[in-house]
Every structure is written in structure tokens, then in C-alpha cells.
Amino acid sequence: MAQEWHPQVGTKRRIGRSALEASALSLGTAPLGGLYRDLTEEEAQATVDAAWQAGIRFFDTAPHYGHTKAEHRLGAALRRYPRSEYVLSTKVGRRFVPRTHVYDGSEGWQDPLPFEAIYDYTYGGILRSFEDSQQRMGIVDIDILLVHDIGRYTHGERHPHYWQQLTEGGGFRALDELRAAGTVKAVGFGVNEREVILDAMREFQIDCALLAGRYTLLEQAPLDDLLPACLERGVSILLGGAFNSGILAQGLSGERKFNYGDAPPDVIDRVARLDAVCHSFGVPLAAAALQFPYAHPAVATVLNGARSAAEVRENAASFARPIPADLWLALRDEGLVDPRAPLPAA
């Protein structure tokens, strides 16, 4: 039998060509913004504390999460720790102003703060959003700035308008100036689709991209183009959504959510097959889901959200759980993993 392999939570990989290094497992903070269920201030602090105790040293947030709530909570939690010992990223592309419309709950935030977003990817919009994030978190040194939710997945027919704000409206120039001045150490994108990352790399030199849900045990299409391009250009992937919105966290015994909605029959069938193979090796599906993407050399970190200290500890244990290398070979032999995908190995 092949040897077992498992990554360590605190293992570091460099982010792009920057001097930054990310811990193998990182904390996403949409749950701190009240995604689907709100947290108390104490629960938010305990979640960040548990991440720190587990060895996590990379934290990602965004103004969008809870309409600025997550940035407030993460900043308050992280200010207790030495600034030189962690990497922090946030996002630009939305400016938040006092709410003028009743929030309808369609974005999934529970009890968000009383602000609403204006999409703005222009030079001035990005600089203003960055300064607002510094003040909300009470942290001046933000390491990574990511352009959030641009692309047809978010904007549909309005995408060309917002893309023009980046190219002709000075958005890319703002990112370049912040990086050149050392105000931030890396810039990139935070999106749910690989195509717009490829478009960005043709226009501008990014360091990294937070890609949510597209390179997982269920989906490996980025092997066709994005991941090879990232390796060639020295761009790191910050891999979000390893559970594909939840269905890979507990298999079919939990909530059958896929890409923020109900999982279709073909996905349910594939998850059942994945779970069966994992079960035959005595390995939880969640552990395989978290470890699989980290085997790709373009992936600098696996970014996972958590809404409690217990969830953080559970994710950290899954990420570090020993998994027989033969499990990965079995998944490949069953046609459940693309044969081009790097497999975790000793």
C-alpha cells in the first residue's frame, strides 16, 4: 500500500512573486459577516482565536460580508495578535454607503450593518474602498488587495461596463500604484469563475487569485487553462469553496447545497460515489475535499470559512488527517478525479 500523506495547517507557501507566505489552511470570514446565521461578537472572536491556535496565519475578508460587519469583527479579533505574524487580505469593487433601501435578505446575510453597496472598480473607487477597509479593521497594513466579484457570473450583461472601469477607468492603475508603493504587497482577484482571472492576466500582472469552488473534488476544469497559466506566470491560487458551498462537507447526510443553491441530481450522484470510495478507506469526505486541491503546486492555501471555534477545529483536524495515498489512486481509477490532477503523495 502507498504511504499516507497529509499536509500541516501551518505549512507555508509563497504567494506569487511576493515575499508573503500563506499558511496551508486559512480562514475565510463570510460567516463572521452573518452568512445564513449571525454570530455574536464573542463567537466571532472565539472563531478567530481558534484559527490562530490551530496554526492558521492567513485571514481573508471583504466589505461585502455582512455589509462591512466581517471587517469590523476580524479587525477587532486580529488586533490582539502580533501584526508581523499573519497575512491579511480584503477586497475592493464595492463601496458601502448608508442604506437607502430595505434589505431584502437575498444575499444571505443575517442582520447586516445598515449599509448598501455601490459597485465601483475605478481608480478613485478602489482607493476609497481600500482606505475604508483600513479604518473599519483598525489595521493599516493590509497585505493583499483583491478585486471582488467582477465577471459575468456577477454582472451578466453589465460586465463590459465594469471591466472598462478597471482598464480605462484606472482600477488596474490604482492596484499597481498601491503595490509599487509597498502599501500592499500583492494584488489579485476574488471571484467565482476562472475565465475572468485569465482575462485579467492578459491585461495586468496579478500576484494571486482567490478562486471559489472551481477546483475541488467535484470540479477540475481549471486544469484545462487557468492552473497551467498560473504556474507559467507565477500567480498563486487562494483556493476557496473546497466544499462547493457545503455538499462536500458532510456528503449527502448534510445540507445538499452546491454553488449556493440546491444540488442537481448529477452532482448528488457524483458526491455519493466520492463518499463511497472515501468510506471504503475509512476517510471522511470532508478531509479528502480539503486536502485534494492543496496538492496542486499553484494553490498557495485552502481558504475555508467557519462560524464557530468548533468548526475551525474540525476543519483543521480534517486538513491534517492522514489519508492513504491509495485513496487518491482509487478516486482517479473510478473516474472521479481528472487524471491530470496532481494527487497528494508522500
In 89-118, which positions are buried (b, 16+ CB within 10 angstroms) versus exposed (e)? Answer: bbbbbbbbeeeeeeeeeeeebeebbebbbe
Active site residue 91: yes
Active site residue 215: no
Active site residue 12: no
274, 216 in Cβ contact below 8 A? no
Number of H helices, E strands in the chain: 13, 16
- Which residue is catalytic, options 65, 123, 162, 215? 65
Q: How far apart are CA 338 and CA 335, in angstroms?
A: 7
In this structure, is the dihedral angle defined by the CA atoms of residues 248, 8, 344 and 210, taken in order, positive or negative? positive
Q: How far apart are CA 334 and CA 326, in angstroms?
A: 12
- Which residue is catalytic, options 91, 121, 143, 199? 91
- Which residue is catalytic, options 38, 60, 120, 275? 60
Which among 239, 159, 164 has a CA at the least distance from the CA of 203?
164
Q: How far apart are CA 222 and CA 256, in angstroms?
A: 24
Q: Is beta strand 236-240 parallel, antiparallel or unpaired with respect to 299-305?
A: parallel
Residue 64 has, within 13 A of its CA and on its CB side, a CA count of 21
| Type of residue at 209 | A
Q: CA-CA distances (angstroms) from residue 276 to 249, 269, 279, 280, 334?
A: 14, 11, 5, 6, 11
Largest CA distance in the chain: 62
Active site residues: 60, 65, 91
